[in-house]
């Protein structure tokens, strides 16, 4: 079962989570001379990324990537890469080595092999995976009812191309195996709607119904969950 951290204020949750990530990155660098961090996009991680960007670390030893990306240009408003570039990869943290999940291929399916190849250069397993969750229970871009979900849950590849059934843009996503191999699996939950879905996920049931269960209903690497109002 997951380890929960409860906060009233989202900003307090973000600061606490950023401190936890920074501590683990520092420990990874001290132990292995390198660290790897995969971040979610969307709205939830923004304050965490802003707090992390202010944290003194040897960013040149840290490899940063995404858990998922929308197949849009990096300057598009929906780009997860854009979020990272505008929040985390500024100031000292710009020294981090960023591995994008988007390339110039015409679609996510054509682009996936090159992303998979580029990901081979990341130090695996990832030290930290920061997940988000949509109100449909998707995590990364592993969406319920997506044609590629079964593959995303079973593939030994690190990445998969996905067409969400009810969300915009083709995506690239980490697979369940890449997520679950991480040394630390973190999740942000905020607001009543997501709290309700989170509680439903914990009750048990098919991962295909609520893909966030892949991280919550396993004990090999218990997820840590930051929950706020």
Ligand X SMILES: O=C1O[C@H](COP(=O)(O)O)[C@@H](O)[C@H](O)[C@H]1O
Q: Which residue ranges make up the site for ligand X (CB under 6 A)?
A: 40-44, 67-68, 80, 132, 134, 141
Q: In this complex, which beta carbon is closest to ligand X, that of residue 67 or of residue 89? A: 67
Measured in residues, the chain has a length of: 229
Classify residue 134 as exposed, middle or buried by CB count within 10 Å of its CB (0-12, 13-18, 19+): buried
CB of 137 to ligand X, least distance (A): 10
Provide the 3-class DSSP secondary structure of residue 89.
coil
CB of 178 to ligand X, least distance (A): 14
Closest to 227 in 3D by CA, of 211, 218, 217, 216 = 216
CB of 40 to ligand X, least distance (A): 4
CB of 33 to ligand X, least distance (A): 29
CB of 42 to ligand X, least distance (A): 2
The 8-class DSSP code of residue 223 comes to: P
Q: In this complex, which beta carbon is closest to ligand X, that of residue 29 or of residue 140? A: 140
Place of tokens 């003194």: 56
Cα–Cα dist 165/172, whole Å: 14
Q: In this complex, which beta carbon is closest to ligand X, that of residue 43 or of residue 54? A: 43
Q: In this complex, which beta carbon is closest to ligand X, that of residue 42 or of residue 123? A: 42
Helix, strand, coil shares, percent, the chain, to 5: 35, 20, 45
Where is 22: in which H helix or E strand? helix 10-32
What are 39's two structure tokens?
Answer: 């971040």
Q: In this complex, which beta carbon is closest to ligand X, that of residue 29 or of residue 126? A: 126
């Amino acid at each position: 079962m997951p380890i929960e951290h409860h906060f009233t204020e989202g900003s307090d949750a973000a600061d606490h989570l950023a401190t936890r990530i920074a501590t683990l990155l520092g420990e990874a660098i001290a132990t292995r001379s390198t660290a790897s961090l995969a971040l979610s996009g969307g709205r939830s991680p923004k304050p965490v990324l802003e707090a992390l960007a202010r944290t003194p670390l040897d960013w040149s030893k840290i490899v940063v990537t995404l858990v998922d990306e929308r197949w849009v240009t990096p300057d598009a408003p929906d780009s997860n890469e854009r979020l990272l570039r505008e929040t985390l990869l500024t100031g000292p943290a710009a020294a981090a080595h960023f591995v994008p999940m988007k390339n110039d291929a015409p679609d996510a399916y054509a682009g996936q092999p090159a992303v998979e190849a580029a990901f081979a250069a990341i130090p695996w397993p990832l030290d930290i995976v920061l997940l988000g969750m949509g109100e449909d229970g998707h995590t990364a871009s592993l969406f319920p009812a997506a044609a590629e979900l079964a593959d995303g849950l079973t593939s030994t590849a690190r990445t998969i191309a996905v067409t969400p059934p009810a969300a915009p843009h083709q995506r690239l996503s980490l697979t369940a195996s890449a997520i679950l191999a991480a040394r630390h699996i973190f999740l942000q939950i905020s607001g009543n709607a997501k709290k309700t879905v989170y509680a439903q996920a914990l009750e048990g049931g098919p991962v295909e119904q609520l893909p966030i269960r892949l991280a919550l209903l396993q004990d090999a690497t218990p997820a840590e969950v930051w929950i706020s109002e």
